Amino acid sequence: MLQLKLYPGELIGMLKFLHRNTAGYEQLPLDSQAVSVLVMGQYLAKWTPQRLAVWQQRRTDKEYSLSLPLPVALALYKDMQTAFLGHQQQSFLDKLDHAIINSPKPYAGVAFSLQLY
């Protein structure tokens, strides 16, 4: 998970980006879908109207924590870099960029081994 501190407007901007870029993805054949769109679409589906309402009612001058799964963070990061973004979305991308650059490597210290028989 990647921890971000966001203003409510930045979160709404991210959700609008997700909505715009995943609209209709579930209607396409699976083999025609980009993995990033699948990841973002599944994350967006987890946002209930109640959860969104909580964010919309928060103070606009205060930052709040959001835990973003790494696959979602990287999909957003790559897709947002080539998109036309509004002010809140650009602010979100700036914070995401900073968090990704400064995050510890997710698999640091984990030894992988594969034994074939």
pLDDT digits (tens, 9 = 90+) for 28-63: 667 767 888 889 999 999 999 999 999 999 999 999
- Please check whether residue 113 lies inside any domain of the structure: no
Which pLDDT belongs to residue 22?
Answer: 85
In a domain, 63, yes or no: yes
Q: Are the C-beta atoms of residues 105 and 27 closer than 8 Å to each other?
A: no
pLDDT of residue 108: 54
**Position 33 in a domain:** yes
115 falls within a domain:
no
DSSP strand E in 1-117: where?
2-6, 64-68
How much is the pLDDT for 13?
Answer: 95
**For residue 97, is it within any domain?**
yes
- As a whole number, mean pLDDT of residues 13-24 equals 90
Assigned domain for 95 exists: yes
In a domain, 24, yes or no: yes
What is the model's pTM? Answer: 0.82
What's residue 21's pLDDT? 87
Element (H, E) at 48: none
Give a yes or no: residue 35 inside a domain: yes
**Total domains present in the chain:** 1
Range of the domain at 20: 2-102
